[in-house]
A and B are shown apart, each in its own frame.
Chain A
């Protein structure tokens, strides 16, 4: 089973990387962009997808400051 975990900073926590991207885009002529958040993508093959939630809680994300979303990808 192929899985994909999307990890992003929790709503309301200052995300200076996202803000830096917001500031950089207009300099390249891309206007009208706001609310940018920069996170992480973890792709993994797992034998037991029921363990994904625990993997996120214990290691892949820090639930105190990050939200995560587990997607399973049909192989």
Chain B
């Protein structure tokens, strides 16, 4: 089981993502200019400020050669996880519904918060239980999820994560923290599971997402 972690100019969490993946499988970095995904079994689009967040967060990264390959990989059912800026990239690419807007507070925030698993039947949550609360850091300035068809997403089981009551850092409607596509192989979330994989930093709850992908590949 090999994970590929995409790296753009301006990515800053790709090393932690590789470290997190390497705790449950093999992992290597994929450079944004290279369309070759090196035969990986799952792709992580990490956090950071790809292309300086110019124009809109994720808007330019979406057109990189590697992303074109990731779109084909996802369309073929391959597991893809977008974290924070990676979530923004996947929304811009049309792999996930919705968009991420400026935090209501207009402030960048950074804190450890509670994140509830709403749907444990996706490629990236099957090692968790529905309703389980994970302790994961979040850090972003543009994380307010917006979708005009939120009722439809809820009905389809596409809301995968919610902030625990009272802990929503960005003002997203119904505390949505992460969503998936209809096929449930592509998941995006604002919190950072790759920063919660070692007791040294307070929580290992984030490992469940990466272990889920290993299980998803094993049963595929």
Contacts and interface: CB of A to CB of B under 8 A. Distances in A.
> Interface on chain A toward B: helix, strand, loop, or mixed SS?
mixed
Interface stretch (B11-19, B21-29, B99-107, B192-200): B99-107
A59 B59 contact: yes
A60 B60 CA distance: 10
A10 to B, nearest CB: 9
Interface stretch (A14-22, A26-34, A45-53, A67-75): A14-22
> Interface on chain B toward A: helix, strand, loop, or mixed SS?
loop
B102 A64 contact: no
B105 A16 contact: yes
Interface in B91-143: 92, 98-99, 101-106
B54 to A, nearest CB: 11
Contacts of A60: 55
B106 A13 contact: no
B127 to A, nearest CB: 32
Nearest to B147: A64
B99 A17 contact: no
Contacts of A64: 98-99, 146, 148
A16 B104 contact: yes
A59 B63 contact: yes
B56 interface: yes
Nearest to A14: B104
A56 to B, nearest CB: 12
B102 A65 contact: no
A64 B149 CA distance: 11
Contact of A17 (B56, B63, B102, B148): B102
A51 to B, nearest CB: 16
B153 to A, nearest CB: 13
A62 B106 contact: no
A62 B104 contact: no
A13 B55 CA distance: 19
Contact of A20 (B56, B106, B144, B148): B106
Given A62-B56, A64-B148, A65-B146, A16 B103 contact: yes
21 contacts: A13-B101, A13-B146, A14-B101, A14-B104, A14-B144, A16-B102, A16-B103, A16-B171, A17-B102, A40-B55, A59-B55, A59-B59, A60-B55, A62-B56, A62-B59, A62-B92, A62-B99, A64-B98, A64-B99, A64-B148, A65-B146
Given A59-B59, A65-B99, 8 more contacts: A14-B101, A14-B104, A14-B144, A16-B104, A16-B105, A59-B55, A64-B146, A64-B148
Which 3 pairs of residues, A with B, have the shortest CB-CB distance? Answer: A65-B99, A64-B99, A16-B104
